[in-house]
Amino acid sequence: MAMEFSEKASCQKYFTKAHDLVRRSVKEFVDGEILPYIDDWEEAGEFPRDLYRKAAEVDILGIGYPESLGGTPGDTFFKIAASEELMRSGSGGLVAGLGSLDIALPPIVRHGTDEQKERFVKPVLAGERIAALAVTEPGGGSDVASLKTEAIRDGDHYVVNGSKTFITSGCRADQITCAVRTGGEGAHGISFLVIEADTPGYSVSDKLKKTGWWASDTAEIFFDDCRVPVENRIGAENQGFYLIMENFQSERQFLCVMANMTAQLAYEAARQYAKDREAFGKPLSAFQVTRHKLVDMATQVEVSREFTYRIAAKIDAGMDQIKEISMAKNFACSVSDRVTWEAVQIFGGYGYMRGYIVERLFRDNRLLSIGGGTTEIMKEIISKFIL
């Protein structure tokens, strides 16, 4: 395994021709089906539901999933290539909304029964149903082991009461992969249930109004005596905490890619603007201070991207990268924080105006160091490895 990795790393060949083909087809999809409409979708606070089906038709939703479930298996660099191209829509919200299945389905694919995969994975990968992940509660997101939504066993059902919040795609989700308390206090009393939105007692708030990620709908979800069949439980009872932690690893890798691309797009826009915009009779790029800013931005983005790729290759090779992925998330977010800040600065007043890409990137970026585990929680994880 390690041998395989070092071979891969030494030639730096993360992407092959096959990955490039996927990249090209996702680019075509973004150019044709997203870019012409994205500004309107951002303002509307959601994209058309039909986009899931369209993305499924060109095999985007199923990248990395087993063929038997309608997916196209492949290493993690297929997913990275696709995510990078989707991010070229310039809308973190669109990517998060379309990609909510990638945080909702993996626990079912890894730990579900064949029957559960047939019911809850296949229709989502076909773009027929929307899936979301529901872990965070109004009372707290970082302290997952203390979650309170209770699921009390009653014959062959669980009776679920409580609420979840900040759920991406939560307004329109047909099913949520939901963390609930089935046992006593702490990490050992948690299970994952797939709860369908048409279950009596299940209700959803209006779209939550956000700083960024406008094109994704974000909801609070309420459970009032929701009766959920025991057969909807993913994995063993009270083992859900481990499934949640496992799931966080791929989510954090995806957030690294989002942060790197947010920074990349902001850098590219600022570089072009610095060449086009003049002040004091010369282009902004003629000022050394601007050139050096762009150099720093380019350097930081490249280093962060390489670190993300390297860790992704190691994960693919079966290596444990919990510490490293936490480091990569914090590093990528610190880069995207700095780069989006400087990009707005280089754009001057226009950078603060709606309709300019750097303005949206700046807003969308703010979430990245909060979602999927905050910067502080990443540091807590890293500290356990190094101390």
Ligand X SMILES: Cc1cc2nc3c(=O)[nH]c(=O)nc-3n(C[C@H](O)[C@H](O)[C@H](O)COP(=O)(O)OP(=O)(O)OC[C@H]3O[C@@H](n4cnc5c(N)ncnc54)[C@H](O)[C@@H]3O)c2cc1C
Q: Which are the catalytic amino acids?
A: 251
Does 160 engage in binding with ligand X (CB under 6 A)?
A: no
Of 117, 148, 210, 338, the residue at the interface with ligand X (CB under 6 A) is: 210
Among 35, 286, 322, 370, binds ligand X (CB under 6 A): 370
- Residue 141 beta carbon to ligand X: minimum distance, rounded to whole angstroms: 2
158 near ligand X (CB under 6 A):
no
Q: CA distances (Å), 367 to each of 9, 16, 219, 337, 371, in order? A: 31, 32, 15, 10, 6
Note whether 380 binds ligand X by CB under 6 A.
Answer: yes
Q: Is the dihedral of CA 164, 165, 170, 176 positive or negative?
A: negative
Shorter beta-carbon distance to ligand X: residue 111 or 310:
111
**Total chain residues near ligand X (CB under 6 A):** 23
The nearer residue to ligand X, 75 or 217, going by C-beta atoms, is: 217
List the one residue from 101, 167, 173, 265 that touches ligand X (CB under 6 A).
167
Token pair belonging to 387 = 């101390």
Q: Which of residues 118-157 bind ligand X (CB under 6 A)?
A: 132-136, 140-142
Rounded Cα distance between 31 and 258, Å, is 18
Give the whole-angstrom CA distance, residue 10 versus residue 347. Answer: 39
Is the CA virtual torsion 356, 360, 365, 368 positive or negative?
negative
Q: Which residues pair with 234 in a beta bridge?
A: 192
Using the rule CB under 6 A, is 383 a contact of ligand X? no
| Binding of ligand X by 377 (CB under 6 A) | yes
- How many angstroms separate the CA atoms of 247 and 309, rounded? 19
Q: Least CB distance from residue 235 to ligand X, whole Å?
A: 17
Under the binding rule (CB under 6 A), the answer on residue 166 touching ligand X is: yes
Beta bridge partners of 131: 175
Distance in angstroms (rounded) separating the CA atoms of residues 168 and 219: 7
- Kindly state whether residue 219 participates in binding ligand X, applying the rule CB under 6 A: no
Stretch binding ligand X (CB under 6 A), from 163-171, 305-313, 315-323, 352-360: 163-171
Of all residues in this chain, which one has the CB nearest to ligand X in the complex? Answer: 141
> Should residue 367 be labelled a site residue for ligand X when binding is judged by CB under 6 A?
yes
**Is position 269 an interface residue for ligand X (rule: CB under 6 A)?**
no
> Among 89, 218, 232, 262, which residue sits at the site for ligand X (rule: CB under 6 A)?
218
Nearer to ligand X, 189 or 373 (CB): 373
Q: Between residues 29 and 214, which has the closer beta carbon with respect to ligand X?
A: 214
Residues 6+ apart with CB under 8 A from 191: 151, 179, 180, 181, 182, 183, 233, 234, 235, 237, 238, 239, 240
Q: How far is CA 35 from the centre of its chain?
A: 20
Contact predicate 204/171, CB 8 Å: yes
Contact between residue 270 and residue 341 where contact means Cβ atoms under 8 Å apart:
no
Given 45, 92, 97, 371, the residue binding ligand X (CB under 6 A):
371
Distance of closest approach, residue 18 Cβ to ligand X, in angstroms? 30
Do the bridges between strand 202-204 and strand 131-134 make them parallel or antiparallel, or are there none, so unpaired? unpaired
Binding site for ligand X (CB under 6 A): 132-136, 140-142, 166-168, 210, 213, 218, 367, 370-374, 376-377, 380
